[in-house]
Amino acid sequence: MSTAARTPGGAGRRSNSIGAVATPHVRRTQEERTAETRGKLLDATIQSVLDVGYAATTTRRVTELAGVSQGAQTHHFPYRVDLVGAAVERLAAQRISETAAKARSLPTDPAHRTVALLDLLWQDLSGPIFRIFVKLWIAAADDPELYDRLVPVEKDMRRQIMAEAANLGGDLIKVPGWESRLNIALSAMRGLALGDAFEPREQPRPSAWPAMRTELERMFRAGDSAA
């Protein structure tokens, strides 16, 4: 005799079955497949530049990392500079978006807002995204095609960063020479971030950012008192 559980309405029917109803397969559109392929290629390009630099970021390496055929890569990005250029544009948009999202939590108190704003800008410049941009800047110095692709991206990104900083600056933007002071601050941060990321040294050392932040804060306060 069968030992299968019997229920009213049918011999041998099992109750409380899981997954009895098949989930219909949803076919992706061509646009979705294209976006996925492009996304894989761009993500792989960014990771490759971070890991091995621009010179070693060949299209073959990118396709292997992305798990995409070279034919698909050539279809979307015929040349390496096209691939890297598109990756940089995506990275710049991500950089601006992440900074803007973090900015929403800045304190409203002017005494703490300056320090928080400086810390926010430092987080942007001391992370892996900045290191990728530095590697590309250096490579572009000897590569006219790459240089031409980076110029408009850098120009637009700098414009957005300055606009976002002005929007977040509160009373700071009333300080005489606000934009000049912000440019000085950004240049100082880039220099420190460059040294922290790439300077050859035997042992890691504590970051000089806290000391630099104190000096930059003093610079903005000096402008405020002179207003």
Using 50, 70 and 90 to split pLDDT, how confident is the model at 224?
Answer: low
pLDDT at 225: 52
Give the model confidence (pLDDT) of 76-126 as tens digits. 999 999 999 999 999 999 988 888 888 888 888 877 888 898 999 999 898
On the CB side of 177, CA atoms within 13 Å amount to 14
Is 149 a domain residue?
yes
| Same domain (yes/no): 100, 177 | yes
| Same domain (yes/no): 116, 52 | no
- Distance (Å, rounded) from C-alpha 40 to C-alpha 71? 14
The C-alpha torsion from 199 through 102 and 162 to 141, rounded to 10°, is: 30
- Residue 146, pLDDT > 90, answer yes
| Same domain (yes/no): 54, 115 | no
Is 50 a domain residue?
yes
Q: How many domains are there within the chain?
A: 2
The CA radius of gyration of the chain, in Å to the nearest whole number, is 26
| Same domain (yes/no): 134, 197 | yes
